[in-house]
Structure 1
Amino acid sequence: MKLLSRGTIVVITIMLLTGFFLATPSLKEVFEEDFLIGAAINNRQVDGEDKQAVALVKEHFNTITPENMLKWERVHPKPNAYNFQPVDNYVALGKENDMFIIGHTLVWHQQTPSWVFEDEKGNPASKDTLLNRMQQHIATVAGRYQDKIDGWDVANEALNEDGSLRQTKWSAIIGEDYLSRAFTFAHDAAPNAELYYNDYNLWKPSKREGAIRIVKKLKEKGIRIDGIGMQGHYSLTSPPIDEIEASILAFSRLGIKVMVTELDIDVLPRPGNQGADLNESFGENAEYNPYPNGLPDAVQKQLAKRYTELFALFHKHREKISRVTFWGVADHHSWLNNWPVRGRTNYPLLFGRDFQPKPAFEAVIRQGKEG
């Protein structure tokens, strides 16, 4: 038998002492006693083409959300045409890996085809026509995945920043009760699934109060709502941790589940406001793309610090939070590469473009172990 050289023995000893041979901790296992840990996934991942991303999803996450495939324009692009194959694959991936499966989203003013709101002549549809289309869409889509999809974002981003109801074609044609109708239709189609309201900037006091009003109005009417999804589209410095905490506490007092959804951290400067309003979009601009060749160490440390603060808060309120979902798997999957400024190189997630964990990942793991 060939003996190892002294040098080889020294190298192996160092590797063992530094934990080189230890497997990367799994996010879902570290937070198993706290809350579900999820990721939004795309078509290439559910089709199995992006094998490295799928491996990360299976290893680290126990809940998944579809990034785009269940939005109206993708799943129901024409009046009598549905595209269910990507969603079928998505649901199959979740079921095969015993994941909590989210449906995103049934009613939204964005990414909904124009025909939904129009008659055959291109004029605004009548209230009855639009209600009928909403009901049929929800019955068909949510009904198809009854007892397969575990929770639905029934309504998405229905509030203005001041907490008032956003003026959209839904509210203009149907009226303010379009939300109550959407939740009623969703309950009828998927009575065993959880039903949520999902929005960004819910850390703002005014918008927080608007979401509280939505929940209270639905409950006063006897309409079921099971939770609020607080979209976590944050930056390195905003929003303040205490405002996020205030919303977690306020929503939990309503007797519903609180979820952190769509979590990512924009590390780049941006024009416009904090949030996720798709109407705020800008062309390519080098001023807002300062790190095209890699994130400087100093910014990596800032990102890790920010995730540390967030997960310290989430762990503190683990009895109130049911789920934390990242909006993407690895940095190159993130929508923040193209929004609000197109063509940027952004670094908002825990895994880099090489699919390797970043310092931010290690920071999150520490919070789970030490929190």
Structure 2
Amino acid sequence: MKINKLLTLLFFLSCSLIMANNEAGGLDSTVIRKGISLKEAYKDKFLIGTTLNAWQIRGRQPEELKVATENFNSIVAENIMKSARIQPNEGEFNFELADEFVKIGEENNMHIHGHTLIWHSQAPDWFFKGEDGNTVSKEVLTQRMKDHIHTVVGRYKGRIHSWDVVNEAIEDDGSYRKSKFFEILGEDFIKLAFEFAHEADPDAELYYNDYSMAIPGKRAGVVRMVKKLQSEGVTVHGIGMQGHIGLNNPDIREFEKSIEDYGKLGKVMITELDLSVLPSPWGDAGAEISDSYEYEDEMNPFPDGLPGNVEQQFVNRYVEFFKLFLKHEDKITRVALWGVNDGNSWKNNWPVRGRTDYPLLFDRENNPKPVVNALVKLASTK
């Protein structure tokens, strides 16, 4: 009799704890039992994507690939389709990994996004130099861009559904980045890139992609640029807003203003989404990969795991942004995480190498973090 009373008491205590945890925004055991994935929860809202790296594509991390295919319905290649990787020398294309990447997407009935055709940061040096070592003419660079885009986009015509045609061409103040593309061709390099991509695959969706897209000056510059292109008859289907965010930046109200303004120009994709919990050396949400800083212990405060209060801040911040995405689901076609799990996130090494960050939805052992259930629950209430 005493044992039965004790068991009954323990049962009610456990129920109370579960209810309290749920009310506090914690794990929902019902969602866990049902096994509702992110892609299932958001299937009527927008695509949920992730990036794949070379090891995953080669099959060296099958457990990570399993997480990707079970939880996401869209993929993008992290590095292997950037121009320096796919055409390291003029006329010498290496499609081995890109072909495998596309095959993975097709075999799993996933939306496939191409990244990226024209980007100053990982363009091969030969793009801009002649045999004499001098800077090439406008005509030469134009032809090289055309050959590259036609070859890459043409190879995957009808198979890759959307492309980041031009990446990070606008500075935070709204001016054009003074890249080698701009130095040789001026702002016309952007127009040419979109024209070549549309010629190569008229049915693919074409996007401009950039970071810090909630900064008012940058927003104005991007809107100005895309409006001009569209007024000239250039096909630009939408804007990719990189989501490299922190616990305190960017201002979500400015992020919403950008979704609204970009949505007037076409479709919006939330790209490269990750949420860093670590301090930033400069205090904003930029993503200029050439920036780097020396390691200091104070910049790596959580080497052994997140404290409970920080974990809750992390969950709350992701939920805050996904509430915004759901509010504007009529404009947003895709929300894509920049990585499968915390262990393979670039944020562990940028802008300070050797740190331990926790920016994604799955932990280093490929387990869903509490935020996953929070996001699944959120979708069911909207």
TM bucket, shorter chain: over 0.9
* Aligned-partner Cα distance in 1 for 2:76–2:59: 16
1:242 paired residue number: 253
| 1:267 pairs with 2:282 | no
Runs of 5+ unmatched residues, structure 2: 1-6, 20-28
* Aligned-partner Cα distance in 1 for 2:94–2:124: 14
2:309 paired residue number: 298
- Counterpart secondary structure, 2:375: helix
1:215 paired residue number: 226
Distance 1:117 1:95, change over 3 A: same
2:291 paired residue number: 280
Shift in Å at residue 362 of structure 1?
2.0
Shift in Å at residue 63 of structure 1?
0.6
| 1:153 pairs with 2:164 | yes
Deviation track 1:81-136 (CA, whole Å, cap 9, x = no partner) reads: 11101000000000111111000000011011111111112211111111111000
- Counterpart secondary structure, 2:44: coil
* Aligned-partner Cα distance in 2 for 1:225–1:32: 25
| 1:332 pairs with 2:343 | yes
- Identity within the alignment, %: 47
**Equivalent residue for 2:107, pick from 96, 103, 116:** 96
* Aligned-partner Cα distance in 2 for 1:175–1:316: 38
Deviates more, 1:244-253 or 1:277-286: 277-286
Letter in 1 for 2:239: I
- Counterpart secondary structure, 1:196: strand
* Aligned-partner Cα distance in 1 for 2:66–2:267: 29
1:132 paired residue number: 143
| 1:84 pairs with 2:95 | yes
1:314 paired residue number: 325
Deviation track 1:150-184 (CA, whole Å, cap 9, x = no partner) reads: 00100000001011111100000111111000100
1:4 paired residue number: none
Letter in 1 for 2:137: S
Distance 1:91 1:20, change over 3 A: closer
Distance 1:21 1:187, change over 3 A: closer
What does 1:54-93 align with in structure 2 at a 5 Å threshold?
54-93=65-104
1:253 paired residue number: 264
- Counterpart secondary structure, 1:22: helix
CA RMSD, 1 decimal: 1.9
* Aligned-partner Cα distance in 2 for 1:108–1:316: 31
Quick check: 2:31–2:377 contact (8 Å CA) kept in 1?
Answer: no
TM-score (norm 1): 0.94
* Aligned-partner Cα distance in 2 for 1:342–1:214: 35
* Aligned-partner Cα distance in 2 for 1:362–1:243: 27
* Aligned-partner Cα distance in 1 for 2:169–2:112: 23
1:3 paired residue number: none
| 1:198 pairs with 2:223 | no
2:116 paired residue number: 105
| 1:172 pairs with 2:191 | no
Shift in Å at residue 354 of structure 1?
1.1
* Aligned-partner Cα distance in 2 for 1:24–1:269: 34
Quick check: 1:332–1:352 contact (8 Å CA) kept in 2?
Answer: yes
* Aligned-partner Cα distance in 2 for 1:23–1:336: 32
2:240 paired residue number: 229
> Structure 1 segments of 4 or more deviating over 6 A?
14-17
Deviation track 1:35-54 (CA, whole Å, cap 9, x = no partner) reads: 00000111111122211111
Letter in 1 for 2:367: Q
* Aligned-partner Cα distance in 2 for 1:206–1:21: 43
Shift in Å at residue 282 of structure 1?
1.7
Letter in 1 for 2:35: T
1:37 paired residue number: 48
**Equivalent residue for 1:51, pick from 37, 62, 76:** 62
Letter in 1 for 2:354: G
* Aligned-partner Cα distance in 1 for 2:346–2:113: 19
* Aligned-partner Cα distance in 1 for 2:31–2:139: 64
2:192 paired residue number: 181
Shift in Å at residue 247 of structure 1?
0.7
Distance 1:286 1:223, change over 3 A: same
Shift in Å at residue 274 of structure 1?
2.1
- Counterpart secondary structure, 2:103: helix
Quick check: 1:315–1:367 contact (8 Å CA) kept in 2?
Answer: no
Distance 1:21 1:79, change over 3 A: closer
Quick check: 2:32–2:373 contact (8 Å CA) kept in 1?
Answer: no
Runs of 5+ unmatched residues, structure 1: 1-6
